[in-house]
Every structure is written in structure tokens, then in C-alpha cells.
Structure 1
């Protein structure tokens, strides 16, 4: 399947970047084990240099992989494919080759933003979050910056394979990500920039899917004259409402995340709670299509997705509003990130793609499991 092929290529690039670049500037504690006279005499028998045990070498590689997994927030990756899939559903199309390319591009650009975020915040994190990979010395700053650049290039290359319109949307998305991490994060425009990035990610899926559909229609018309009366290619404008809803959720979560290090804000989680309730109501309302009556199964499915979204995001926001401590604020941010999956599923179901919605909901337990091992914030 093309999706797995592109996903594998992105994963290989990420692995090569993480292992190869990190070795170029590895902290001293990852180097050879300091020798002691006892160790030298006992292991070499002649005063020579003792080899590094295989067990220690394996542990070191595992620690490096864990540091990069933490830097790249791999547990949050499960919230990314739903953007492109919800975008395809919003224009009334099934996932196709263009959707797969958009998913691959989104994954690369998202991870680029994670690496760049920690590189840009390395001095601040040294004070507020010294346990993070860069300030703790587990990942070199230069390696993180190089990974951000390589992943950005990979994302744009995948988007270009989906056509010029998709490449243009991906370029705007990449520019938004880099602008946010380097300049806008600590300004009033920060939450709006993050919301724009998520909205563009959904529109990237819609654009790539629409382009692939148009290409397929043109090819069919060239082969069979009777196919010339086929429906016109879908318009990306149909995805704008879904992009706005996803952007609104992102805006609210980003406002809360600005206080996750120090805490102390009740306004941000209260605002996020109000936004969550409003978005849940919007997801639960079925979008009526001309000539199509609302059915009980569709309403039941939308209600289930809206309930999953509210259950994931609302309680942590409420707890952070009642007690705005850093741990509860961070938990609210994590809940808001994971809630993107049921929100994307609800948007897909609302657009008439229940199968896509159910597939997306299958990512929820995976995201929850990985979040216990690697924090998404």
C-alpha cells in the first residue's frame, strides 16, 4: 500500500537522522566507559583498554532512541493522520493516493515542528524543563536543528508528489510551523499560528485528495468518452468548515499550553472548556446533505464521537481550572492533544465517512498507550 510505503520512508529518514546525527555530537556520558585499574586488570589481563560490554552498548542505543522519541513527541503522532483523512471526507471523497501523500507530508512536517520547537526553546527549557532531551544533554542542539530541516524537506517533497496545489499548501504549513517556533510562540499571535497550522494540515489532505480525484477523472475521460459526463472534481472549499472547527480546538489548547510550565491560569482552561463544549455540540449535529434524510445510525455515531471528544478533553480542562498547577495544566494540554482524534473522527462522520471515522477511533488506544511512555507535551 502506498501509505505504508511513504510512512516507511519517513520513518527510515527519521531513524537515520536520529542515530546518525546524534552520533556526531554525543554527550560525554554516551562515550566509552572510564577505565579503572581494577577493571583494566580484570578484563584485559595485560593492562590494555577494556572493551565496552555489549549490554552497556545496547542500553546506550536504547537511551538515544528514547531521547529522540521524547524530543519528537511520538505519542502525539497519532493525532496527525486524521487531519488529512478528515480533509478528504470533508470534500466527499474516499482516501486515495493523494491522501496517503498528504498523510506522509503531515507526519514529516509535524515532527519537524517538534524538533524545531525544542531547539528554539533550549535555553528556556534549561531553566523550566531541564529533563528534556536537549538541556539534559541527551540530544545535541545541532542534531535537533538538522532533523527539523531534513524532515521539512521530506514533507515538502511528499506534498510535491501530490501536485502543485498540495505543495503550495504544504509550503504555507511549513512556513507557519517555522514562524511559530522561531518567532510567534511567545507573542499574542502564537495560538492563532498554531490554529492556522492545524487548519492548513486538514486542507492539505483535502487539496491532495481533490487533485488525485481530478487526475483520475481526466484519465478516465481520455480513455472512455462516456466518462466525460462524470461529476466534476470536488472543491476544497467544502473542507473550510471542518478546518475552522479543528483550528478552534487547537487555538484553545495552545492557550492552555502557554501556562504548562508555571501554571497559575484559570482563564485559559475555562476558555478551553467552553470551546470544548461548543465544539462537541457542533460535532454532534449532523450535516444535512440535499436529498438525504438524517438517519438514526448516523446520529448515534456522531453522538458517540462527540461524547468521546468531550470525555477526553473536558475533565482535564475542568481540573486545571479548579487547580491551575503545572501538573494539572500539562495534563489538560495532553488531554486536548489526544482529543483531536475523536474530533477528527467526528468531523469525518459528520461529512458522511463513517468508515474513516471508525478507523481513526482505532488510534485512540494507541495514543493513550504511547502517552504513558512518552509525554505528548
Structure 2
């Protein structure tokens, strides 16, 4: 019998915390923050992300039966049909929340975002285009928070570049990393850190520059150590560690981008969210899903 814990594992519940900041970054880069019902947009991101995770496991169910038999579908705890239902419900909820939180402009970005998530899971993931499609997903997520404003493009690009590195790393989780993928991850991490400077601050430019620089250092400190270890030892376990830390390090990157925009209190809130995420991941490593 499928339990709620099984569903939480299917959608990678702790990892959903890493997307909450995308729309926060977009809104602060574009207009200085959310207005009215805009705080529904992070929930839209989490719902679309969760639906993508469920669809990912449905698409990978045959490969996972050999490589990751402990996952919910190959272990028999969640059926393929149930995974599709979860994916559809989460995707629909995400679109509804996007419309409620950001109106037609956010919905106009949420629709191609959802389509890109589906395309990655069912077609692009094993191809050379996979990292770029996933990067497009995260970039569109930032723009959903910006309601499509071009002012958020530099911030969206930062998140997208980071995502290219994460996706390249993830290719070596089962069989070990290649020099090409590990090198791409390191380059992407450095480029994402450098691109923080391109975000235009809305207020107090000198303080925003300092805060953005400090945030960039924090981001690099979160992402680089495990990547350098994996470069030295590209075994599956080291690559998995590097991938896990890279996925989580997007939250310090989000905090740095928000700080660079001049919203220091919100940046501190994202830093606190990262502390919560780390605690949940630590519990999951000990065998507790959430």
C-alpha cells in the first residue's frame, strides 16, 4: 500500500526547498519584491518541481529497476500509474498557483516551464541537450517570479548556468563521473558566481555590491569542495556527494542574487531556508525521508 511517505520520497520533498527561492530571485530582480498574492509563486515552483520529480521516476522506472531498485516505483511502493497521477496533480496545481500569484504574465511563463519539465523527463534527459533543457527550466522558474520582466534575465541566467553544472554532474551518479562533465560543472559554478555582479541593485548600490560579493563567496564555499573532491576521485559515491551539494548550493546562490538586488532581509531568510534544507537532507541520509 502506498503511503504518504512514499509519495514524499517520490517527489524528493526536501529538494523542493531548493526551488522556492527561484521566484523570489525573479521578483526582487524585476520589481524589488512580491506584491499582493505574489508569495503564492514559490509554492507554484515547488508544485511544478514535485510533479517533474514524479514524472522523472516514471520515465526512468525501467532503468531504476536495475540501477536504483530502492526507489518508490521499482520497489513496488508506488505504481507507475500512481506516479503519473501525482505528476499531473502537482503540475496542474503549479499552473493554478502561478495564475493566482502572478496573473496572466506569470502563467504565460509557467506554461512553457511545465512543458520544458516534461520534455526533459521524457525526451531530453539522456541526450546532449539534457543540461540545457534543465537549465531552461530553472531560468523560466526565475522569470515566472519576475512576471516575464527582462530585468530578471541576468538573475535567471545565473540560476540557469548553475543548473547546467548540476545536471552535468548528475550524469555520473551511477557509473562515475567523466572529466568532461566534472570540468563543465566547475566552469558552470565559477560562471554562476561571476554572473551575480550582473544583477542590477535597486537600492544602496555599494552595500548591494558588498552583499552580493559575500554571497558569491558563500555559494562557492557550498558548491566547490565536493566538486573538487569528485574531480580527484570521480567514483559514483563522490559524484553523488558533489551532485547533492550542488543541488543544495543553489539556495546560497539565490540568497546572493537577492542580496545583490538590495533585499538583505529576504536574503537572510533564504540563508535560513538553507539551514532547514541541510537539516532535512541530513535526516534523509539517516533513513528518514523528511
TM over 0.5: yes
Tell me whether 1:177 sits opposite 2:90 in the alignment: no
Shift, 1:98, TM fit: 4.2
Q: Does 1:348 align with 2:258?
A: yes
Question: Does the CA contact (< 8 Å) of 2:154 and 2:199 recur in 1?
Answer: no
Query: CA separation in 1, counterparts of 2:221 and 2:243?
Result: 14
Q: Once the 2 structures are TM-superposed, how far is the Cα of residue 350 of structure 1 from its aligned partner?
A: 1.2
SS in 2 for 1:136: coil
CA distance in 2, matches of 1:107, 1:203: 15
The CA distance in 2 between the partners of 1:337 and 1:319, in whole Å, is 16
Question: Comparing 263-272 with 332-341, which one deviates more in the overlay?
Answer: 263-272
Equivalent residue for 1:99, pick from 9, 22, 38:
38
Return the offset for 1:170: 0.7
Q: 1:172-321 maps to which residues of 2 (within 5 A)?
A: 172-207=112-147, 236-283=149-196, 285=197, 294-295=205-206, 297-321=207-231
* Matches of 1:188 and 1:315, distance apart in 2: 26
SS of match in other structure, 1:374 = helix
In structure 1, distance between residues paired with 2:248 and 2:170: 14
- 1:272-316 CA-partner distances (Å, limit 9, x unpaired): 112212322333x475669x7743x43442233112211111011
User: In the alignment, is the contact (CA less than 8 A) between 2:6 and 2:78 conserved in 1?
Assistant: yes
1:267 shift after superposition = 2.1
Separation (CA, whole Å) in 2 of partners of 1:97 and 1:261: 45
Please report the TM-score for the alignment, with normalisation by the length of structure 1.
Answer: 0.71
Q: How far 1:271 sits from its partner (Å)? A: 2.0
Instruction: Give the TM-score taking structure 2 as reference length.
Output: 0.92
Residue 215 of structure 1 is matched in structure 2 by none
Number of aligned positions between the proteins? 285
* Larger CA Rg, structure 1 vs 2: 1
In 2, Cα distance between equivalents of 1:373 and 1:197: 28
CA shift, 1:155, in A, is: 1.0
Are the aligned partners of 1:305 and 1:346 in contact in 2 as well (CA < 8 Å)? yes
Q: Please give the alpha-carbon distance, in whole angstroms, between the structure 2 residues aligned to 1:286 and 1:273.
A: 20
Alignment of 1:114-193 (within 5 A): 114-161=53-100, 162-193=102-133
CA separation of 1:289 and 1:330: change in aligned 2, threshold 3 A: closer
Structure 2 spans left out of the alignment, 5+ residues = none
Q: Distance in 2 between matches of 1:110 and 1:163?
A: 20
Query: SS of the residue aligned with 1:163?
Result: helix
Match of 2:77, SS? coil
Contact 1:85 / 1:99 at 8 angstroms: preserved in 2? no
Runs of 4+ in 1 over 4 A off after TM superposition: 286-290
CA distance in 2, matches of 1:298, 1:93: 13
In structure 1, the gaps of 5 or more residues are 1-22, 27-63, 208-234
CA contact (8 A) 1:252 1:275 kept: yes
Q: Give the drift of 1:136.
A: 1.0
Q: Tell me which of 79, 104, 121 is aligned to 2:18.
A: 79
Deviation at 1:67, TM superposition (A): 2.3
| Rounded Cα–Cα distance in structure 2 between residues aligned with 1:340 and 1:267 | 21
Give the superposition deviation at 1:68: 2.1
Contact 2:205–2:262 (Cα < 8 Å) also in 1: no
- Measured in 1, the distance between the counterparts of 2:116 and 2:192 equals 24
Cα 1:286–1:117, aligned 2, differ >3 Å: closer, same or farther?
closer
**Does structure 2 retain, via aligned residues, the 8 Å contact 1:286–1:350?**
no
**1:63-74 paired onto structure 2 within 5 Å:** 64-74=3-13
Judge conservation of contact 2:166–2:247 (CA < 8 Å) in 1: yes
